[in-house]
Amino acid sequence: MENFKIQKEDLLTIDQRRKKVIAINQIIMMKGVANYTCFFYLKNGKQRVTSHTLKYYEPLLDGKGFLRVHKGL
């Protein structure tokens, strides 16, 4: 059995003050609400909320397999 180590680049900090992180491979989807909140939908069915915008997380997730989809046409 192999030992898997999580690297720092595989984690996304969602709350620096409380030191909360999410493993990027556990994120199914992110959803922005208004201009200040982002909801994370995780593989285990849980949700996490942060006060950062999608724009804040976009460069942090660049090259990690995420696409930004817009509602409007």
Query: How many residues would you count in the chain?
Result: 73
Global confidence as pTM = 0.75
The domain spans of the chain are: 28-65
Q: Are 21 and 10 in contact (CB under 8 A)?
A: no
Reported as type and span, the H/E element at residue 57 is helix 54-57
d(CA 55, CA 40): 14
- pLDDT in the model for residue 69: 85
Going from the first residue of the chain to its last (73 residues), give the mean pLDDT of each consecutive group of 10, the final group possibly shorter. 62 78 89 82 90 88 86 64
